[in-house]
Amino acid sequence: MQESPKYWKGIEELESSPEFIKNAFNEFDYLPVSESHGSSDATVAPRRDFLKLMGFGIAAATLASCETPVRKAIPYLNKPQEVDPGIANFYASSYFNGSEYNSVLVKTREGRPIKLEGNPNSPVTRGGLSARAQASVLSLYDQSRLQNFTIKGKAAERAQVDREIMTKLAGTTGRIAIVSPTIISPSTKRAIAAFAGRYANTEHVQYDANSQSGILRANGGVLPSFDFSKADIIVSLAADFLGTWISPVEYAAQYITNRKVSADKKTMSRHYQFEPYFSLTGSNADVRVPVKPSEMGAITVELYNAIVGGGTASPRVAKAANDLKAHRGRSLVVSGSNSAAEQTLVAAINAALGNVGASVNTATPSMLRQGDDARMLRLIDDMNRGTVGAVIFYHANPAYDHPQADKVKSGLAKVPLTISFNEKADETGSLCTYGCPDHHYLESWNDFEPRRGSLSLAQPAISPLFATRQAQDSLLTWAGSNQSYYNFLRENWRGVLGAGNFQAAWDKAVHDGVATGTASPAPTPQMAPAMSVDQAVAAIASAPKPSGTELVLYEKVAIGNGCDANNPWLQELPDPVSKATWGNYVAVPRKMAEANKWEQGDVLKVTANGKAIELPVLVQPGQPAGSVSIAIGYGREKAGKVGNKVGANAYPLATVRDNALVYMTGVTLEKTGATSPIAQTQTHHTIMDRKSVVQESTLAKYIENPKEVTEYDKIATPEGLEKPNKVSLWQDYEYKNHHWGMAIDLNSCIGCGSCVVGCQVENNVAVVGKQEVINRREMHWLRIDRYYSSDASKKDFATKGKLDTYAAMEDPSENPSVIFQPMLCQHCNHAPCETVCPVLATTHSSEGLNQMTYNRCVGTRYCANNCPYKVRRFNWFSYYSNEKFEDVNGHMFTDLGRMVLNPDVTVRARGVMEKCSFCVQRIQLGKLEAKKEKRRPMDGEVVTACAQSCPTQAIVFGDLRDPNSRVAQIWKREDGERAFKVIEAINAQPNITYLTKIRNVETKEVRNA
Amino acid sequence: MDSIRLRSLPHLLLALFLTFAAVGSASAQEPAAGAVGQAPAVSKEGVTPGATAGAAPAAAAGATTGDAAAIAAGDALFKGNCAQCHAINDVVVGPALAGIAKRRPMSWLIPWIRNSSKVVASGDEYAVKIFNQYQKQQMPSFQLTDAEITSIVSYITAEEGKSAGAPGAATGIKAADGTETPGTAAADGGSSQTMDILLIVLVVVLLVLIVTLVIIANIMKDVLRGRKDLDGRDVELLDQRFDFSKIYKSNVVRGIVATLFVLVVLYQSLQGVMAIGIQQGYQPTQPIAFSHKLHAGEHQINCAYCHTSVYKSKSANIPSANICMNCHSQIKTESPEIKKIYRAIERKQPIQWVRIHNLPDLAYFNHAQHTQVGGIECQTCHGPIQNMEVVYQYSPLTMGWCINCHRETPLNTKGNAYYNNLVKLHETSNSAKPFTVSSNGGTECSKCHY
Kindly report, residue by residue over B315-364, the tens digit of the pLDDT: 988 999 988 888 888 888 888 999 999 999 999 999 999 999 988 888 99
> What sign results for the dihedral spanned by CA atoms B86, B90, B96, B102?
positive
Shared domain for B125 and B147, answered yes or no, is: yes
Shared domain for A356 and A221, answered yes or no, is: yes
Domain finish residue from B176, B196, B222: B176
Query: Beta-carbon neighbour count of residue A202 at 10 Å?
Result: 21
Asked if the Cβ–Cβ distance from A76 to B362 is below 8 Å, we say no
Judged against a pLDDT cut of 90, whether residue A911 lies above it is answered with yes
Burial tier of A937 (Cβ tally within 10 Å: 0-12, 13-18, 19+): buried
CATH number, domain at B114?
A: 1.10.760.10
3-state secondary structure of B330: coil
Shared domain for B343 and B441, answered yes or no, is: no
Asked if the Cβ–Cβ distance from A85 to B446 is below 8 Å, we say no
Shared domain for A202 and A218, answered yes or no, is: no
Shared domain for B441 and B360, answered yes or no, is: no
Chain B touched by A71 (CB under 8 Å):
yes
Is residue B156 one of the residues assigned to a domain?
yes
Judged against a pLDDT cut of 90, whether residue B17 lies above it is answered with no
Judged against a pLDDT cut of 90, whether residue A205 lies above it is answered with yes
Asked if the Cβ–Cβ distance from A843 to B445 is below 8 Å, we say yes
Asked if the Cβ–Cβ distance from B373 to A928 is below 8 Å, we say yes
Distances in Å between the Cα of B49 and the Cα atoms of A560, B304, B373 are: 51, 10, 8
Say how many domains are in chain B. Answer: 3
Is residue A73 one of the residues assigned to a domain?
no
For A533-547, A743-757, B3-17, B405-419, which range has the lowest pLDDT when averaged over its residues? B3-17
In terms of phi and psi (left: phi > 0; alpha: psi -120 to 50; beta: otherwise), the region of A930 is alpha
In terms of phi and psi (left: phi > 0; alpha: psi -120 to 50; beta: otherwise), the region of A650 is alpha
Is residue B354 one of the residues assigned to a domain?
yes
Shared domain for A723 and A762, answered yes or no, is: yes
Shared domain for A223 and A206, answered yes or no, is: no
pLDDT of residue A922: 94
Most confident stretch, A56-60, A360-364, A626-630:
A626-630
Shared domain for A795 and A933, answered yes or no, is: yes
- In this prediction, residue A1004 has a pLDDT band, given cuts at 50, 70 and 90, of low
Is residue A79 one of the residues assigned to a domain?
no
Distances in Å between the Cα of B170 and the Cα atoms of A397, B78, B88, B165 are: 72, 14, 9, 10
Shared domain for A789 and A748, answered yes or no, is: yes
Shared domain for B296 and B404, answered yes or no, is: yes
Query: What value does the mean pLDDT take over residues A851-870?
Result: 93
Is residue B225 one of the residues assigned to a domain?
no
With CA atoms as reference, the chain B residue closest to A842 would be B445
What size, in residues, is chain A?
Answer: 1009
Query: What value does the mean pLDDT take over residues A252-261?
Result: 92
Say how many domains are in chain A. Answer: 6
Domain finish residue from B408, B423, B438: B408
Asked if the Cβ–Cβ distance from A72 to B444 is below 8 Å, we say no
Judged against a pLDDT cut of 50, whether residue A629 lies above it is answered with yes
Query: What value does the mean pLDDT take over residues B425-436?
Result: 84
Shared domain for A625 and A597, answered yes or no, is: yes
The distance of Cα B110 from the centroid of its chain, to the nearest Å, equals: 38
Q: Tell me chain B's radius of gyration from C-alpha atoms.
A: 32
Chain B touched by A68 (CB under 8 Å):
yes
Is residue A526 one of the residues assigned to a domain?
no
Chain B touched by A349 (CB under 8 Å):
no
Query: What value does the mean pLDDT take over residues A209-233?
Result: 90
pLDDT of residue B231: 79
Q: A670 forms bridges with which residues in the sheet? A: A605
* pLDDT tens figures, A88-137: 999 999 999 988 999 999 999 989 999 999 999 999 998 889 999 999 99
Is residue B257 one of the residues assigned to a domain?
no
CATH number, domain at A701?
A: 3.30.70.20
Is residue A658 one of the residues assigned to a domain?
yes
CB nearest to A72's CB, from B308, B345, B354? B354
Asked if the Cβ–Cβ distance from B450 to A931 is below 8 Å, we say no
Asked if the Cβ–Cβ distance from B317 to A85 is below 8 Å, we say yes
State the best of B345, B418, B427, B428 to mutate against chain A, taking most chain A CBs within 10 Å.
Answer: B418
Domain finish residue from A365, A381, A401: A365
**Under a CB-based contact definition with an 8 Å cutoff, are residues A989 and A740 in contact?**
no
Distance from CA of A956 to the nearest CA of B (A): 22
Structural domain boundaries enclosing A243 = 213-365
Q: Who contacts A708 (Cβ-Cβ below 8 Å, separation ≥6)?
A: A701
The distance of Cα A824 from the centroid of its chain, to the nearest Å, equals: 18
Judged against a pLDDT cut of 50, whether residue B26 lies above it is answered with no
**Chain A residues close to B450, C-beta within 8 Å:** 904-906, 917, 920-921, 924
Q: A783 forms bridges with which residues in the sheet? A: A823
Distance from CA of B289 to the nearest CA of A (A): 15
CB nearest to A77's CB, from B317, B348, B362? B348
- In this prediction, residue A207 has a pLDDT band, given cuts at 50, 70 and 90, of very high
Shared domain for A196 and A234, answered yes or no, is: no
Distance from CA of B353 to the nearest CA of A (A): 5
* pLDDT tens figures, A781-838: 999 999 998 888 877 888 888 888 888 888 888 889 999 999 999 999 999 999 999 9
DSSP alpha helix (H) spans, A727-766: 754-762
Name the A residues in 837-866 with CB < 8 Å from any B CB: 843, 845-847, 849, 851-856
Q: Distance between CA A215 and CA A225 in Å, rounded?
A: 12
Chain B touched by A932 (CB under 8 Å):
yes
Query: What value does the mean pLDDT take over residues A628-655?
Result: 93
- In this prediction, residue A453 has a pLDDT band, given cuts at 50, 70 and 90, of confident
* pLDDT tens figures, B98-134: 888 888 888 888 888 888 878 888 888 888 888 787 7
Shared domain for B338 and B398, answered yes or no, is: yes
Percent above pLDDT 70 for chain A: 94
Asked if the Cβ–Cβ distance from B446 to A853 is below 8 Å, we say yes
**Chain B residues close to A853, C-beta within 8 Å:** 445-446, 449
Asked if the Cβ–Cβ distance from B373 to A851 is below 8 Å, we say no
Asked if the Cβ–Cβ distance from B317 to A75 is below 8 Å, we say yes
CB nearest to B314's CB, from A76, A86, A932? A86
Q: Distance between CA A872 and CA B310 in Å, rounded?
A: 37
CATH number, domain at A321?
A: 3.40.228.10
Shared domain for B325 and B389, answered yes or no, is: yes
Shared domain for B386 and B435, answered yes or no, is: no
Is residue B192 one of the residues assigned to a domain?
no
Query: What value does the mean pLDDT take over residues B260-272?
Result: 93
Shared domain for B353 and B419, answered yes or no, is: no
Shared domain for A220 and A196, answered yes or no, is: no
**Chain A residues close to B354, C-beta within 8 Å:** 70-73
**Chain B residues close to A740, C-beta within 8 Å:** none
- Give the residue among A705, A623, A578 at the shortest CA–CA distance from A998: A705
3-state secondary structure of A502: helix
Distances in Å between the Cα of A77 and the Cα atoms of A302, B101, B189, B290, B351 are: 71, 39, 45, 16, 7
Is residue A877 one of the residues assigned to a domain?
yes
- In this prediction, residue B139 has a pLDDT band, given cuts at 50, 70 and 90, of confident
Is residue B11 one of the residues assigned to a domain?
no
Distance from CA of A68 to the nearest CA of B (A): 6
Shared domain for A763 and A901, answered yes or no, is: yes
Shared domain for B429 and B398, answered yes or no, is: no
Domain finish residue from A300, A333, A365: A365
Shared domain for B415 and B404, answered yes or no, is: no
Is residue A1008 one of the residues assigned to a domain?
no
**Chain A residues close to B418, C-beta within 8 Å:** 927, 930-931, 934-936
pLDDT of residue B7: 44
Query: What value does the mean pLDDT take over residues A539-547?
Result: 86
Judged against a pLDDT cut of 70, whether residue A774 lies above it is answered with yes
Is residue A626 one of the residues assigned to a domain?
yes
Is residue B54 one of the residues assigned to a domain?
no
CATH number, domain at A384?
A: 3.40.50.740
Query: Beta-carbon neighbour count of residue A497 at 10 Å?
Result: 20
A953/A545: higher pLDDT: A953
Shared domain for B380 and B418, answered yes or no, is: no
Domain finish residue from A303, A338, A365: A365
Strands A331-335 and A150-151: unpaired
Q: Distance between CA A565 and CA A635 in Å, rounded?
A: 9
pLDDT of residue B37: 35
Query: What value does the mean pLDDT take over residues A452-480?
Result: 92
pLDDT of residue B31: 39
Q: Distance between CA A135 and CA A114 in Å, rounded?
A: 10
Judged against a pLDDT cut of 50, whether residue B44 lies above it is answered with no
Shared domain for B397 and B431, answered yes or no, is: no
3-class secondary structure per residue, A61-96: HHHHHHCCCCCEECCCCCCCCCCCCCCEEEEEEEEE
State the best of A934, A938, A942 to mutate against chain B, taking most chain B CBs within 10 Å.
Answer: A934
**Chain B residues close to A856, C-beta within 8 Å:** 445
Percent above pLDDT 90 for chain B: 28
Shared domain for A589 and A665, answered yes or no, is: yes
* pLDDT tens figures, A129-159: 999 999 999 999 999 999 999 999 999 999 9
Chain B touched by A700 (CB under 8 Å):
no
Shared domain for A497 and A389, answered yes or no, is: yes
Query: What value does the mean pLDDT take over residues A504-519?
Result: 88
Average pLDDT of chain A to the nearest whole number: 89
Query: Beta-carbon neighbour count of residue A570 at 10 Å?
Result: 27
Q: Who contacts A429 (Cβ-Cβ below 8 Å, separation ≥6)?
A: A146, A393, A397, A420, A422, A435, A638
Query: What value does the mean pLDDT take over residues B223-235?
Result: 79
Percent above pLDDT 90 for chain A: 66
Judged against a pLDDT cut of 80, whether residue A704 lies above it is answered with yes
- In this prediction, residue B75 has a pLDDT band, given cuts at 50, 70 and 90, of confident
3-class secondary structure per residue, A113-156: EEEEEECCCCCCCCCCCCHHHHHHHHHHCCCCCCCCCEECCEEC
With CA atoms as reference, the chain A residue closest to B341 would be A77
Is residue B439 one of the residues assigned to a domain?
yes
**Chain A residues close to B444, C-beta within 8 Å:** 843, 845-846, 851
Is residue A246 one of the residues assigned to a domain?
yes
Average pLDDT of chain B to the nearest whole number: 77
CB nearest to A71's CB, from B355, B364, B444? B355
Structural domain boundaries enclosing B342 = 292-408
